[in-house]
Amino acid sequence: MQQQIQTMLELQDSMNTKVNSEWRSQGFEWYRAIWIECGELLDHYGWKWWKKQTPDVEQVQLELIDIWHFGLSILLQSGQSSEAIATTIEKELVLATDEEDFRLDLERFAGEVLTTRSFSVASFGRLMAGIDMDFEMLFKGYVGKNVLNFFRQDHGYQDGTYTKIWDGREDNEHLVEASQALDAAEPDFQDQLYRALSQRYQAVQA
């Protein structure tokens, strides 16, 4: 587990550096990004008492993965080594909650983020438990989204030459299929996933 956590930390640092090589000293408001994501997550889960709503669990899990990106950025900005951060995450990421209403855990988490302008791994673990999300789902989802972000950047996303629809389907769908066919426990999982995306993309561009 610690190796997979370190992999995620390395990927987050690489992506942040790709956007801004001096990201650690820029004072970006990662906490603000997190609570905005919390609002989007709540919309997917449902909160309107005046209409029937069914939680979109898959979208909620995707929003949690986005929050994890920002949370890792906060932890990396602390100045600690990735090894120390990984050890702390492994210790604090307990997937358990005593709250029956997921929305209350979410509101406590968002409130904590706004008050402290930091990221609580323990509180995030409660959210994962409340939506039945295990560590493997977090890891595969995180690495997948990160790899896709890199893939898009490497294939012309910024200059508009990237094609997001492949063979009639969005790249996100291809990502999910490619990810499911691979073993997330492999140390080069992210490299395998990138290659799988490349093969699919080249096949439809030929």
- pLDDT for residue 180: 83
Look at residue 99 in the predicted model and tell me its pLDDT.
Answer: 96
Residue 104 has a pLDDT of: 97
- CA dist., res. 8 & res. 78, Å (int): 16
User: What pLDDT is attached to residue 177?
Assistant: 85
User: Is residue 104 domain-shared with residue 154, that is, in the same domain?
Assistant: no
**Residue carrying structure tokens 């979109």:** 56
Question: Distance (Å, rounded) from C-alpha 73 to C-alpha 119?
Answer: 9
| Segment 9-56, tens digit of pLDDT | 999 999 899 888 999 989 899 999 999 999 999 999 999 999 999 999
Q: Which of 114, 133, 152 is the last residue of a domain?
A: 133
Q: Are residues 22 and 60 in the same domain?
A: yes
Contact yes or no for 62/141 (Cβ under 8 A): yes
What domain range is 59 assigned to? Answer: 2-133
Q: What is the pLDDT of residues 124-141, one digit of tens each?
A: 999 999 999 999 999 989
The answer on pLDDT for 142 being more than 80 is yes
Give the pLDDT mean for 186-199: 89
CA dist 93 and 146 (Å) reads 21
32 to 35, 77, 153: CA distances (angstroms): 5, 15, 24
Domain count, the chain: 2
**68-93: per-residue pLDDT in tens?**
999 999 999 988 999 999 999 999 99
Please name which of 35, 59, 32 lies closest in space to residue 45, comparing C-alpha atoms.
59
How much is the average pLDDT of 172-191?
85
Domain boundary among 113, 133, 153: 133
Q: Which pLDDT value is given to residue 58?
A: 86
CA separation for the pair 175, 170 (Å, rounded): 9
> CATH number, domain at 123?
1.10.4010.10
Q: Is the pLDDT at 195 greater than 80, yes or no?
A: yes
Average confidence (pLDDT) over 60-65: 92
* Mean pLDDT (the chain, rounded): 91
- Domain identity same for 154 and 74: no
Statement to judge: residues 20 and 121 lie in one domain: yes
pTM: 0.85
Per-residue pLDDT at 28: 93
Q: What is the pLDDT of residue 206?
A: 64
